């Protein structure tokens, strides 16, 4: 079984009740954080997960809303681990430069803490792996990070289409016969269809194009061309034949009571289970079947 928790269901639009884009995936002993939008560690704390417990940080792309709290994840991981445990960060090309720049911005803090704590003698340990496709989590990557095997987890990436933002990637996580695909921000494309083919669940970011198109502000309308609408995400899920569609990154913010409207749009295209909700919404993905746990 793979457990998916929507840590942050927000977007660049600040919402008092929704953290920035981030999804937590538990697969056996492994815990993966997919993107790290604003407030991610507060939401993770709510379900008992700390930065020290992460197996890896997976980044779909380098848009600010998806990496807002990268510095917080790096720093908190660093100061809450007591044996050297490098954090693998797996993302598209460009990730290493962003991580290096983040560490540069943190340089004063890093020097303060090394000077102040006798047992902190090195800067944060991070291993960046840049990919656009292929197998990214295997015994090699896992052993560098954790000193042991990949925990029976396999992760593949494939390109998505969020142009002019590029390269961008989606992740497919498999464990014990269960599988989850995390699309990130993308318009429908063949490589995402292939990555998601037959998956137990597809986590997809969405915008309501019907609503955004009515807003009399061109800067907001600009986002229409490089995101999937609810119906388009549902179309990807249908073509790929996934078991469950999990919607997140609601633009505009999903207001209380509107869940059924969003669900109906997806259901007009995708005939199976549709999940959406507030931050910390949790979905269990079993081999071949998906159920929502009670409570
Ligand atoms: Zn984006
Ligand atoms: Zn986004």
- Look at the alpha carbons of 87, 156, 290, 238 in this order and tell me if their dihedral is positive or negative: positive
CA within 13 Å, CB half, 143: 4
Query: Would you state the pLDDT for residue 279?
Result: 97
Token readout for 5 is 């928790």
HSE at residue 14, side-chain half, CA atoms within 13 A, is 2
Task: Read off the pLDDT of residues 125-134 as tens digits, 9 standing for 90 and up.
Answer: 999 999 999 9
The string of pLDDT tens digits covering residues 25-84 is 999 999 999 999 999 999 999 999 999 999 999 999 999 999 999 999 999 999 999 988
Catalytic option among 65, 72, 161, 279: 65
Q: For residue 261, indicate whether it is catalytic.
A: no
166 Cα: distance to centroid of ligand 2 (angstroms): 13
What does the alpha-carbon distance between residue 199 and residue 151 come to, in Å, rounded to a whole number?
20
Report the pLDDT value the prediction gives residue 295, as an integer from 0 to 100: 39
Q: Say what the pTM is.
A: 0.93
Cα 63 to middle of ligand 2, angstroms = 6
Q: Which two tokens stand for residue 87?
A: 């954090």
Nearest Cα neighbor of 73 from 35, 46, 47, 104 is: 35
Give the pLDDT score at 289.
54
Residue 153 contacts residue 173 (beta carbons within 8 Å)? yes
Per cent of the chain over pLDDT 90 is: 82
- CB 38, CB 13: distance < 8 Å: no
Rounded to the nearest angstrom, the distance between the alpha carbon of 63 and the centre of ligand 1 is 5
Residue 149 has pLDDT above 80, yes or no: no
Give the number of whichever ligand sits closest to the CA of residue 12.
Answer: 2
Q: Which two tokens stand for residue 43?
A: 């939401």
Give residue-wise pLDDT tens across range 253-278.
999 899 999 999 999 999 999 999 99
Phi-psi region of 104 (alpha: psi -120 to 50; beta: other; left: phi over 0): alpha
Distance 117 CA to ligand 2 centre (A): 37
Asked if the model's pLDDT at residue 141 lies above 70, the reply is no
């Amino acid at each position: 079984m793979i457990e998916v928790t929507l840590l942050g269901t927000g977007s660049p639009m600040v919402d008092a009740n929704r953290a920035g884009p981030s999804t937590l995936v538990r697969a056996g002993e492994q815990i993966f954080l997919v993107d790290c939008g604003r407030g991610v560690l507060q939401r993770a704390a709510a379900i008992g997960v700390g930065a020290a417990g992460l197996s890896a940080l997976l980044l779909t792309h380098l848009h600010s809303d998806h990496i807002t709290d990268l510095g917080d994840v790096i720093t908190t991981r660093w100061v809450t681990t007591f044996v050297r445990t490098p954090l693998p960060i797996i993302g598209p090309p460009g990730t290493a430069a962003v991580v290096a720049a983040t560490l540069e911005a943190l340089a004063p803090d890093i020097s303060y803490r090394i000077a102040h704590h006798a047992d902190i003698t090195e800067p944060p340990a991070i291993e960046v792996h840049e990919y656009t496709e292929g197998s990214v989590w295997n015994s090699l990557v896992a052993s560098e990070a954790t000193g042991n095997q990949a925990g029976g987890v396999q992760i593949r990436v494939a390109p998505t289409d969020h142009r002019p933002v590029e390269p961008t990637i989606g992740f497919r996580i498999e464990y014990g016969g269960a599988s989850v695909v995390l699309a990130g921000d993308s318009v429908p494309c063949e490589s995402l269809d292939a990555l998601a083919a037959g998956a137990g669940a597809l986590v997809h970011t969405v915008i309501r194009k019907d609503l955004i198109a009515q807003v009399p502000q061109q800067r907001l309308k600009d986002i229409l061309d490089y995101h999937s609408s609810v119906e388009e995400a549902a179309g990807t899920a249908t073509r790929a034949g996934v078991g469950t569609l999990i919607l997140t990154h609601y633009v505009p913010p999903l207001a209380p009571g509107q869940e059924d409207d969003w669900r109906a749009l997806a259901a007009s295209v995708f005939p199976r289970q549709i999940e959406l909700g507030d931050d910390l919404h949790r979905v269990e993905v079993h081999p071949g079947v998906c159920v929502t746990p009670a409570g």
